[in-house]
Amino acid sequence: MTQETLGYVELEWTCKRCGTKNPGTLKTCAGCGAAMDAKDQFELPQQQELIAGSDTATQPGPDVHCPYCGTRNSADAPTCSQCGAALSGATARPAGQVLGGLQTGPVAERPCPYCGEPNQSNAPRCKKCGGELLKQPSPQPPPPSPAPAQRNRAVVGIGVAVLIVLCICGAILAALTARTTDVSGVVQSLAWERTIEIMEQRPVTRENWEDQIPSGADKGTCKRQVRSTQAQPAPGAEKVCGTPYVIDQGTGKGKVVQDCQYNVYDNWCKYTATEWQAASRAVAQGTDARPRWPELNLRSNQREGNREEKYRVTLVGNDTEYAFSPPTAAEFAQFTPGSRWTFKVNALGGISNMQPAR
């Protein structure tokens, strides 16, 4: 992404003594004559006029403040315009801060506090009675509202309560899982199920970039779409720029810039290709101790897919049925109807540590 300069706008600053808003290039207050302090910040005026080709681009850098009297001077000034002191050790104003988006539209009017006549918000005097409009009383911070603090405390309280409940549930679950009972049981019944997925070649419609369509596929309709973005121009690329914004130069003027990039377009197409898709499943089930895979009768456009197997052993001990699922056929083969086993059962019914009874 590249940054393009559109021009410059004059900023403003507010005098802390009398509240007068002053043009950015003015180094002393137009209302009371006080010098702009190093802590005073430049602001965007409500009404901004873009200055194309401003000489701000050739200025030596941010203004500096005299280390003796604090007066604001140009960066290339050898001595202070107020006290005549050398400016070799002067501190430069900060620069580079983004002040906001560029607003060149009409500014809403505001009524004169003396006669009520509508005036532009940046007008220095009322066009009807001549009253001063730029001097504003120092704003008083609003009293702190207890609502945000109360909401924060409530949110924290709810979060703590939820955490406590989760911890209690976790502790209960851990306790139930850890607490086990030794049981001796007899294998009552067996059950097994084996499944083979049957894959079939079928036409499917997908979308991709034109140069990534698989060979042999039938290309359908295409549309132009952004494939990538870059900072430099390219043949057929579209230049797209963001909203202009203003950067403080530390001189009373702000540089207006916008971030731009180039959208590179390509063809995004639909295509139809033949792919292996899951069509059905062949299933074999039984209740004996000899699990088998189902027989397959595949057509020329079919093939075998994934295999799955499930096993279940039902045991009876202490007049209670327990279900156990061996993970492999080898483990399942150990359980024959009528054989006796010892195992541990937790409070949730989970079975572990299966061992042949001695």
pLDDT tens profile 317-329: 988 999 999 999 9
CB atoms within 10 A of CB 149: 10
Tens digit of each residue's pLDDT (9 = 90 or more) over 240-261:
999 999 999 999 999 999 999 9
- How confident is the model at residue 132, as a pLDDT? 78
Say how far apart CA 304 and CA 54 lie, in whole Å: 75
- Pair 256, 245: CB distance under 8 Å: yes
In which residue are the tokens 């851990």 written?
174
The average confidence (pLDDT) of the chain is: 87
Of residues 136 and 256, more confidently modeled: 256
Domain ranges of the chain: 180-197+283-297+305-356
More confident residue, 31 or 308: 308
Contact predicate 195/281, CB 8 Å: yes
Supply the pLDDT for residue 261.
96
- Our CA dihedral for 64, 66, 70, 75, rounded to 10 degrees, sits at -20
Domain at 180-197+283-297+305-356, CATH class = mainly beta
Q: Which residues contact 125 (CB under 8 A, 6 or more apart)?
A: 131, 132, 133
pLDDT tens by residue, 266-283: 999 999 999 999 999 999
Contact 291, 329 (CB under 8 A): yes
Q: What is the pLDDT of residue 13?
A: 93
Q: Give the phi and the psi of residue 317 in degrees, each rounded to 5.
A: -150, 135
Amino acid identity, position 87: L
CA distance 230 to 239: 10
* 269, 210 Cβ separation under 8 angstroms: yes
Structure tokens at 358: 């001695």
Please give the C-alpha separations between residue 89 and each of 72, 279, 296, 330, in angstroms, as whole numbers.
Answer: 13, 82, 91, 86
Check if the beta carbon of residue 55 is closer than 8 Å to that of residue 74.
no
pTM surpassing 0.75? Answer: no
Contact assessment for residue 328 and residue 335, using Cβ atoms and an 8 Å cutoff: no
Helix (H/G/I), strand (E/B), else coil: 66: coil
Q: Is 103 in contact with 91 (CB distance < 8 Å)?
A: no
Residue 20 CB neighbours (<10 A): 22
CA gap 169, 83 in Å, rounded? 75
Cβ distance 95 to 248 under 8 Å? yes
Residue range 53-97, pLDDT digits in tens: 655 556 789 999 999 998 999 999 999 998 999 998 898 999 999
Alpha helices for the chain (secondary structure H): 146-178, 329-332
